[in-house]
């Protein structure tokens, strides 16, 4: 039996009140916003780390990355993610994009790959940070997030029972090359002839194929361009409100290619054996899956999922700061200025910088980072084992607040942390200066350091364990 064996999710900590966009009163609904050092790749890595908790990463045969907002036009995101996760050298990687259905397209491809026997375990990750023009209704609907699933044939928590897909050529929502903003045609046309027609058709076809009806479903994971259209579609298809997974409008927003996967991860967190889940995504057509949960779903532990991230939030002080994070408002500090990183040095240091590999002396067990030829404790030479530090918990040993270093969100918090004996000099992120103290437990998070030379430069930062 092939299906989903594990899941993970990531929602940025920052929240932007929708009132800040429309100029209304404070309070009320909000949306999740990626920090200035986050993008679709870093969020995908975070979701994947959650998904792979307690799992031997050496058994992952392939990584499929789905996004419509990947920062490169020509360079594979899945390869960056695989390296950050310290996966095998012979792992297969592929990017899936160009449509809001990219997340479920990648999921279907992974199920087919494992079912055909060409891979034992496939990691599917989806992440998006779409932008609409400032102060528009679409901007209020969009949010940022990521989700990840491990597909395999053993220990299946959620197995596909039936599926159906349709393709539709319609210009409803699009973004052209070089344009930072998503655009849409007239609202009624988009909803009636795009979203509504396609979703209704794919669900009815799946019901006819599988023999199930609306009342047979335990949980419905339904894509929606906005809260109003989502609610109308629920009524039209005859689902009870208690069946429908919360679409998270007013808390996260529409997370693009990661929207349906994120809702599925949230639904899987509460699934019981025998539950039937309908999963529907939309974008240039529609995908529909009927899944059935096994007892394994009830035993999946240690994942933060969507619920944990929803409880971890910090409100952005102003709309201007949000625009600065998105590089839509000129700031004194330009993250794109400078000559950029050396591709040669990046190649040479990628094990330490991206996989965050340190070393442990075989003679005295001293841990060191970065790589050195000589142990500073026993002076043994070239006698080390590599150790992955990115999934370990560390502690702050010293720190400083730098108000002069260029940062979109000053002060820049620099710290020295201890991770199983190795000392790392790292920036801290998602932290208020008042939280920082000696011996503070921290975890590692993959982030974007800068975009000097127009190229994202990724490395690891630390953040308080919450």
pLDDT tier at 301 (50, 70, 90 boundaries)? confident
Instruction: Report the percentage of the chain scoring pLDDT > 90.
Output: 88
- Whether residue 320 sits in one domain with residue 350: no
What mean pLDDT do residues 390-400 have?
97
- Whether residue 296 sits in one domain with residue 395: no
- Whether residue 347 sits in one domain with residue 301: no
What mean pLDDT do residues 280-298 have?
97
Query: What mean pLDDT, rounded, does the chain reach?
Result: 94
Residue 22 has pLDDT above 90, yes or no: no
Tell me which residue range forms the domain holding 407.
343-464
Domain final residue pick, 325, 355, 384? 325
Domain final residue pick, 325, 356, 385? 325
Q: Find residue 385's DSSP bridge partners.
A: 360
Rg over alpha carbons for the chain, rounded to the nearest Å, is 22
> Does residue 331 fall inside a structural domain?
no
Q: What is the pLDDT of residue 30?
A: 95
- Whether residue 88 sits in one domain with residue 18: yes
> Does residue 318 fall inside a structural domain?
yes
CATH number at residue 17: 3.40.47.10
- Whether residue 321 sits in one domain with residue 363: no
CA angle 342, 343, 347 (to 5 degrees): 120
- Whether residue 291 sits in one domain with residue 348: no
What mean pLDDT do residues 10-23 have?
92
Task: Tally Cβ neighbours within 10 Å of residue 420.
Answer: 14
What mean pLDDT do residues 428-437 have?
95
- Whether residue 299 sits in one domain with residue 432: no
> Does residue 145 fall inside a structural domain?
yes
> Does residue 333 fall inside a structural domain?
no
At 213-245, the pLDDT tens digits run: 999 999 999 999 999 999 999 999 999 999 999
CA distance 377 to 389: 20
Residue 58 has pLDDT above 80, yes or no: yes
- In terms of Cβ atoms closer than 10 Å to its own Cβ (0-12, 13-18, 19+), residue 26 is exposed
pLDDT tier at 183 (50, 70, 90 boundaries)? very high
Residue 337 has pLDDT above 80, yes or no: no
- Whether residue 367 sits in one domain with residue 277: no
- Whether residue 293 sits in one domain with residue 153: yes
- Whether residue 311 sits in one domain with residue 184: yes
- Whether residue 174 sits in one domain with residue 72: yes
- The domain total for the chain is 2
Query: Cα–chain-centroid distance for residue 408?
Result: 22
pLDDT tier at 336 (50, 70, 90 boundaries)? low
> Does residue 226 fall inside a structural domain?
yes
Residue 333 has pLDDT above 80, yes or no: no
CA distance 271 to 279: 13
CA distance 316 to 301: 32
Instruction: Order across the sheet with 30-33: list the strands.
Output: 30-33, 14-17, 314-315
Q: What is the pLDDT of residue 409?
A: 85
- Whether residue 119 sits in one domain with residue 69: yes
Instruction: Report the percentage of the chain scoring pLDDT > 70.
Output: 97
Strands 219-222 and 122-128: unpaired
Domain final residue pick, 293, 325, 357? 325
Q: CA-CA distances (angstroms) from residue 445 to 10, 44, 63, 163, 404?
A: 12, 11, 19, 36, 24
Q: What is the pLDDT of residue 404?
A: 86
pLDDT tier at 331 (50, 70, 90 boundaries)? low
Handedness of CA 345, 460, 370, 86 (dihedral sign): negative
> Does residue 294 fall inside a structural domain?
yes
pLDDT tier at 341 (50, 70, 90 boundaries)? confident
């Amino acid at each position: 039996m092939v299906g989903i064996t594990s899941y993970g999710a990531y929602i940025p900590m920052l929240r932007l009140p929708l009132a800040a966009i429309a100029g209304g009163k404070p309070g009320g609904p909000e949306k999740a916003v990626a920090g200035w050092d986050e993008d679709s790749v870093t969020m995908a890595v975070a979701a994947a780390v959650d998904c792979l908790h307690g799992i031997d990463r050496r058994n992952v045969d392939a990584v499929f990355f789905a996004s419509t907002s990947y920062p490169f036009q020509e360079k594979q995101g899945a390869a960056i993610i695989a390296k950050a996760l310290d996966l095998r050298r012979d792992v297969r990687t592929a990017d899936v994009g160009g449509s809001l259905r990219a997340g479920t397209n990648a999921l279907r491809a992974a199920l087919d790959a494992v079912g055909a026997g060409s891979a034992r375990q496939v990691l599917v990750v989806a992440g998006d940070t779409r932008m609409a023009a400032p102060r528009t209704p679409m901007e209020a609907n969009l949010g940022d997030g990521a989700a990840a699933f491990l597909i395999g044939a053993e220990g299946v928590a959620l197995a596909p029972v039936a599926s159906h897909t349709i393709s539709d050529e319609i210009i409803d929502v699009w973004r052209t090359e070089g344009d930072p903003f998503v655009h849409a045609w007239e609202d009624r046309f988009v909803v009636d002839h795009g979203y509504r027609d396609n979703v209704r058709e794919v669900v009815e076809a799946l019901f006819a194929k599988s023999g199930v009806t609306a009342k047979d479903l335990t949980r419905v994971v339904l894509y929606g361009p906005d809260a109003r259209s989502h609610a109308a579609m629920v009524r039209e298809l005859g689902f009870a409100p208690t069946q429908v997974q919360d679409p998270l409008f007013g808390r996260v927003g529409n997370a693009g290619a990661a929207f349906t996967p994120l809702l599925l991860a949230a639904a899987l967190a509460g699934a019981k054996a025998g539950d039937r889940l309908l999963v529907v995504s939309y974008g240039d057509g529609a995908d529909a899956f009927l899944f059935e949960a096994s007892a394994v779903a009830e035993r999946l532990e240690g994942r933060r999922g969507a619920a944990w991230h929803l409880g971890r939030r910090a409100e952005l002080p102003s709309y201007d700061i949000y625009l600065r994070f998105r590089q839509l408002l000129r700031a004194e500090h330009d993250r794109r200025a400078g000559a950029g990183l050396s591709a040669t040095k990046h190649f040479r240091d990628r094990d330490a910088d991206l996989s965050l590999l340190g070393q442990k002396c075989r003679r005295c067990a001293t841990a060191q980072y970065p790589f050195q030829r000589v142990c500073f404790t026993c002076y043994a030479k070239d006698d080390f084992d590599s150790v992955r530090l990115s999934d370990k918990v560390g502690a702050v040993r010293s720190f400083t607040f730098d108000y002069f270093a260029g940062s979109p969100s000053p002060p820049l918090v620099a710290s020295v942390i201890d991770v199983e004996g190795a000392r790392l000099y790292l920036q801290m992120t998602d932290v208020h200066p008042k939280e920082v103290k000696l011996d503070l437990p921290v975890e590692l998070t993959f982030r974007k350091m800068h975009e000097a030379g127009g190229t994202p430069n990724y490395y690891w930062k630390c953040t308080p364990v919450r």
